[in-house]
Protein backbone atom coordinates (compact mmCIF):
# COMPACT_ATOMS: atom_id res chain seq x y z
CA UNK A 1 0.00 0.00 0.00
CA UNK A 2 1.32 3.44 -0.88
CA UNK A 3 2.52 5.65 1.96
CA UNK A 4 0.06 8.36 1.01
CA UNK A 5 -2.75 6.10 2.26
CA UNK A 6 -1.06 5.78 5.65
CA UNK A 7 -0.60 9.55 5.77
CA UNK A 8 -4.32 10.06 5.10
CA UNK A 9 -5.16 7.65 7.91
CA UNK A 10 -2.96 9.66 10.27
CA UNK A 11 -4.71 12.87 9.17
CA UNK A 12 -8.15 11.34 9.71
CA UNK A 13 -7.32 10.12 13.21
CA UNK A 14 -5.63 13.38 14.17
CA UNK A 15 -8.53 15.50 12.88
CA UNK A 16 -11.16 13.33 14.50
CA UNK A 17 -9.50 12.33 17.76
CA UNK A 18 -6.37 14.45 18.15
CA UNK A 19 -2.64 13.99 17.75
CA UNK A 20 -2.50 12.17 21.08
CA UNK A 21 -4.79 9.44 19.71
CA UNK A 22 -2.53 8.90 16.68
CA UNK A 23 0.55 8.82 18.91
CA UNK A 24 -1.18 6.30 21.16
CA UNK A 25 -2.03 4.11 18.14
CA UNK A 26 1.59 4.21 17.00
CA UNK A 27 2.82 3.32 20.50
CA UNK A 28 0.35 0.44 20.73
CA UNK A 29 1.43 -0.97 17.35
CA UNK A 30 5.13 -0.22 17.67
CA UNK A 31 5.07 1.48 14.25
CA UNK A 32 6.94 4.70 13.55
CA UNK A 33 4.26 6.46 11.51
CA UNK A 34 6.89 7.78 9.09
CA UNK A 35 5.51 7.08 5.63
CA UNK A 36 6.86 8.44 2.36
CA UNK A 37 3.86 9.06 0.11
CA UNK A 38 5.28 7.37 -2.99
CA UNK A 39 6.80 4.36 -1.21
CA UNK A 40 5.04 1.02 -0.78
CA UNK A 41 4.42 -0.48 2.66
CA UNK A 42 2.97 -3.83 3.72
CA UNK A 43 -0.83 -4.04 3.63
CA UNK A 44 -0.74 -5.73 7.02
CA UNK A 45 0.69 -2.54 8.50
CA UNK A 46 -2.39 -0.59 7.48
CA UNK A 47 -4.69 -3.22 8.98
CA UNK A 48 -2.63 -3.16 12.20
CA UNK A 49 -3.22 0.59 12.40
CA UNK A 50 -6.94 0.16 11.67
CA UNK A 51 -7.21 -2.48 14.41
CA UNK A 52 -5.47 -0.15 16.87
CA UNK A 53 -7.69 2.77 15.80
CA UNK A 54 -10.73 0.56 16.43
CA UNK A 55 -9.41 -0.32 19.89
CA UNK A 56 -8.68 3.34 20.66
CA UNK A 57 -11.95 4.83 19.36
CA UNK A 58 -14.41 1.96 19.78
CA UNK A 59 -15.66 2.54 16.23
CA UNK A 60 -16.62 -0.62 14.36
CA UNK A 61 -13.82 -1.60 11.93
CA UNK A 62 -16.15 -1.69 8.91
CA UNK A 63 -17.45 1.79 9.73
CA UNK A 64 -13.92 3.04 10.41
CA UNK A 65 -12.83 1.89 6.95
CA UNK A 66 -15.99 3.38 5.33
CA UNK A 67 -15.24 6.67 7.10
CA UNK A 68 -11.69 6.50 5.78
CA UNK A 69 -13.05 6.21 2.24
CA UNK A 70 -15.24 9.26 2.83
CA UNK A 71 -12.23 11.10 4.25
CA UNK A 72 -9.80 10.42 1.41
CA UNK A 73 -12.06 11.14 -1.56
CA UNK A 74 -11.81 14.95 -1.23
CA UNK A 75 -8.02 14.55 -1.23
CA UNK A 76 -8.19 12.49 -4.42
CA UNK A 77 -10.52 15.09 -5.93
CA UNK A 78 -8.08 17.87 -5.05
CA UNK A 79 -5.07 15.97 -6.46
CA UNK A 80 -6.80 14.85 -9.67
CA UNK A 81 -9.75 17.12 -10.42
CA UNK A 82 -9.76 16.05 -14.07
CA UNK A 83 -11.18 12.64 -13.13
CA UNK A 84 -14.18 14.30 -11.49
CA UNK A 85 -14.63 17.15 -13.96
CA UNK A 86 -14.87 14.65 -16.83
CA UNK A 87 -18.25 13.48 -15.49
CA UNK A 88 -21.58 15.11 -14.78
CA UNK A 89 -23.05 12.34 -12.68
CA UNK A 90 -22.18 9.66 -10.16
CA UNK A 91 -22.87 6.71 -12.44
CA UNK A 92 -20.55 7.79 -15.24
CA UNK A 93 -17.87 8.59 -12.66
CA UNK A 94 -18.15 5.14 -11.04
CA UNK A 95 -17.95 3.49 -14.46
CA UNK A 96 -14.68 5.35 -15.05
CA UNK A 97 -12.92 4.03 -11.95
CA UNK A 98 -11.54 0.84 -13.47
CA UNK A 99 -11.84 1.93 -17.11
CA UNK A 100 -9.98 5.23 -16.81
CA UNK A 101 -8.79 6.25 -13.35
CA UNK A 102 -6.98 3.03 -12.45
CA UNK A 103 -5.33 2.95 -15.89
CA UNK A 104 -3.93 6.44 -15.29
CA UNK A 105 -2.83 5.58 -11.74
CA UNK A 106 -0.94 2.54 -13.05
CA UNK A 107 0.91 4.78 -15.51
CA UNK A 108 2.19 6.90 -12.62
CA UNK A 109 2.65 4.01 -10.16
CA UNK A 110 3.24 0.75 -12.06
CA UNK A 111 3.70 -1.12 -8.77
CA UNK A 112 0.35 0.03 -7.33
CA UNK A 113 -1.87 -2.89 -6.32
CA UNK A 114 -5.29 -1.52 -7.17
CA UNK A 115 -8.62 -3.27 -6.76
CA UNK A 116 -10.42 -4.42 -9.87
CA UNK A 117 -13.99 -3.55 -10.79
CA UNK A 118 -16.30 -5.19 -13.27
CA UNK A 119 -19.70 -3.73 -13.98
CA UNK A 120 -23.26 -4.64 -14.91
CA UNK A 121 -24.85 -1.54 -16.40
CA UNK A 122 -28.20 -2.71 -17.69
CA UNK A 123 -30.56 -0.06 -16.28
CA UNK A 124 -30.08 3.70 -16.30
CA UNK A 125 -31.11 3.94 -12.64
CA UNK A 126 -28.89 1.10 -11.40
CA UNK A 127 -25.30 -0.12 -11.49
CA UNK A 128 -23.69 -3.24 -10.11
CA UNK A 129 -20.01 -3.03 -9.31
CA UNK A 130 -18.04 -6.22 -8.70
CA UNK A 131 -15.08 -5.53 -6.44
CA UNK A 132 -12.08 -7.86 -6.33
CA UNK A 133 -8.93 -7.33 -4.28
CA UNK A 134 -6.77 -9.47 -2.02
CA UNK A 135 -6.91 -6.56 0.45
CA UNK A 136 -10.68 -6.95 0.84
CA UNK A 137 -11.18 -3.22 1.38
CA UNK A 138 -14.71 -3.25 0.00
CA UNK A 139 -15.87 -1.02 2.87
CA UNK A 140 -13.33 1.58 1.74
CA UNK A 141 -14.97 1.40 -1.70
CA UNK A 142 -18.35 1.98 -0.02
CA UNK A 143 -16.99 5.13 1.65
CA UNK A 144 -15.51 6.36 -1.61
CA UNK A 145 -18.86 5.78 -3.35
CA UNK A 146 -20.64 7.67 -0.58
CA UNK A 147 -18.31 10.67 -0.82
CA UNK A 148 -18.57 10.59 -4.63
CA UNK A 149 -22.37 10.65 -4.35
CA UNK A 150 -22.08 13.71 -2.14
CA UNK A 151 -19.80 15.38 -4.69
CA UNK A 152 -22.28 14.72 -7.52
CA UNK A 153 -25.25 15.55 -5.25
CA UNK A 154 -26.79 12.14 -5.88
CA UNK A 155 -29.01 10.14 -3.58
CA UNK A 156 -28.57 6.40 -3.82
CA UNK A 157 -29.06 3.08 -2.10
CA UNK A 158 -26.24 0.55 -1.90
CA UNK A 159 -26.80 -3.14 -1.33
CA UNK A 160 -23.62 -5.10 -0.57
CA UNK A 161 -25.12 -8.37 -1.80
CA UNK A 162 -22.05 -10.62 -1.64
CA UNK A 163 -18.87 -10.01 0.31
CA UNK A 164 -15.37 -11.45 0.25
CA UNK A 165 -15.37 -11.20 4.06
CA UNK A 166 -18.14 -13.80 4.05
CA UNK A 167 -16.36 -16.17 1.67
CA UNK A 168 -17.57 -14.79 -1.67
CA UNK A 169 -15.14 -14.73 -4.58
CA UNK A 170 -15.81 -11.01 -5.03
CA UNK A 171 -17.98 -8.32 -3.53
CA UNK A 172 -21.17 -7.31 -5.28
CA UNK A 173 -22.12 -3.68 -4.74
CA UNK A 174 -25.53 -2.95 -6.24
CA UNK A 175 -26.29 0.76 -6.50
CA UNK A 176 -29.71 2.21 -7.18
CA UNK A 177 -29.71 5.90 -8.09
CA UNK A 178 -32.64 7.75 -6.53
CA UNK A 179 -32.32 11.11 -8.32
What span, in angstroms and rounded, lies between the C-alpha atoms of 17 and 107? 36
Contact 174, 161 (CB under 8 A): yes
In tens, the pLDDT along 86-111 reads 999 999 999 999 888 888 877 877 87
Q: How far apart are CA 175 and CA 127, in angstroms?
A: 5
- At a CB cut-off of 8 Å and minimum separation 6, what does 84 contact? 77, 93, 151
- Helices and strands of the chain, counted as H and E runs: 8, 4
pLDDT at 77: 93
Question: How much is the pLDDT for 31?
Answer: 95
Are 165 and 135 spatial neighbours (Cβ–Cβ below 8 Å)? no
pLDDT value, residue 114: 87
**Positions in the chain short of pLDDT 70:** none
Domain boundaries along the sequence of the chain: 3-59, 89-177
Q: What is the mean pLDDT of the chain?
A: 93
Fold (CATH) for 89-177: H-NOX domain (3.90.1520)
Amino acid sequence: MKGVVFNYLAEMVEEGFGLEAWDSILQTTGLTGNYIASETYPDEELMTLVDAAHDKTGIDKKELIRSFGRFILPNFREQSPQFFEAHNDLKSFLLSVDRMIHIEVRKLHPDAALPEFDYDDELSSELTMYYTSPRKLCFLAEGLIDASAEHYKTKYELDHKECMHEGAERCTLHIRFLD
